[in-house]
Amino acid sequence: MSARSLRFVSSLTVVALTQGCVTLAGFNPGSDKGDDTDVVAVDDTDVVGVEDTDLAGETAAPQDTDVAPDTDLPADTDPLPDTDPPVDTDPPAPGLYLFVTDAGSVGNLGGVSGADARCNASPVKPVGSGTFKAMLADDNTRHACTTSLCVTGGAWENLNWVLQPSTTYFRPDGTQIGSTTAAGIFTSVTVGIGTNNSEVWTGLAYDWTNSSNSSNCTNWTDGTGNTLGNVGLADETGTDLIARYLQYCDRSNVLIYCAEQP
């Protein structure tokens, strides 16, 4: 190769190297924003935006703070099944209702049968309940005991009596009054048969015997001031429930106790 050729080749080499150096000098990894900012934009900011601060999966209300299953009123606090009168205020077996009539009357009730009719016609008679009889004593057809608290027993105790033996009685609202003894009388009650101190015809003495022949408004057929009838007070829990005092039979606002029959 001639000296001229060598000089030409050398010139090309210098140019090539020089161009390569320019190219290499222009590539600066630390200052090439196109590559580095792509990384930051794609990798680093994706991490910040999606992985590091994306709380949707951890604090999203539908998963972590939704308390609906725990405080759902229809399931947990709905009181309707407990307070629905048709279900909850029906007395459990062997229970029966005992209530006080809403309207008072003089002592002429039409006898005990007439008093029974008043019980069954009363608007406060519990809905869906059975037949009722008046908790009254007279001289001949209805009495609880012939001896104090029926201790003697025998055929004359509980003549046509309206309370059942060993039975729990309830007010119409489901409140338990108490349970009778095997003789069909109360020796204690939790609450009165009524909710106020209304007078109630009974014809009974405190020990469940007939108080006397002159204490039943002539067998509940006399409504004058010439005769007397024994009364109790509806809200009492002691013996005053059946025998508080004698009242003149022309007193017009005296009520009746009514006992459901099995």
pLDDT tens by residue, 117-155: 999 999 999 988 999 999 999 998 999 999 999 988 765
Q: Which of 35-39, 50-54, 120-124 has the highest mean pLDDT?
A: 120-124
Distance CA 251, CA 254 (A): 7
User: Which of 17 and 242 is assigned the larger pLDDT?
Assistant: 242
Residue 80 in this model has a pLDDT that exceeds 90? no
Give me the DSSP letters along 96-136. EEEEE-SS-B-S--SHHHHHHHHHHH-TTSPTT---EEE--
Radius of gyration of the chain (CA): 48
Helix ranges (DSSP H) in the chain: 3-26, 33-39, 45-46, 56-59, 68-71, 73-76, 80-83, 85-88, 111-121, 217-220
pLDDT in the model for residue 210? 87
pLDDT tens sequence across 205-215: 999 998 766 79
Q: What is the pTM of this model?
A: 0.64
What average pLDDT does the structure give for the chain?
Answer: 75
pLDDT of residue 158: 86
Residue 108, both tokens: 């002429």
As a whole number of angstroms, the distance between CA 234 and CA 246 comes to 15
The C-alpha atoms of residue 188 and residue 176 are separated, in whole angstroms, by 12
**Mean pLDDT within 250-261:** 97
β-pairing, 245-248 vs 228-233, is: antiparallel
Domains located in the chain, CATH noted: 95-262 (3.10.100.10)
Q: Is pLDDT above 90 for 66? A: no
Paired tokens of 261: 């029959």
| 84 pLDDT above the threshold of 60 | no
Distance between CA atoms of 73 and 3, rounded to whole angstroms?
104
Cis ω before 29 (30° cut-off from 0): no
CB neighbours of 213 closer than 8 A, spacing ≥ 6? Answer: 139
Nearest to 102 by CA among 114, 86, 118, 91: 118
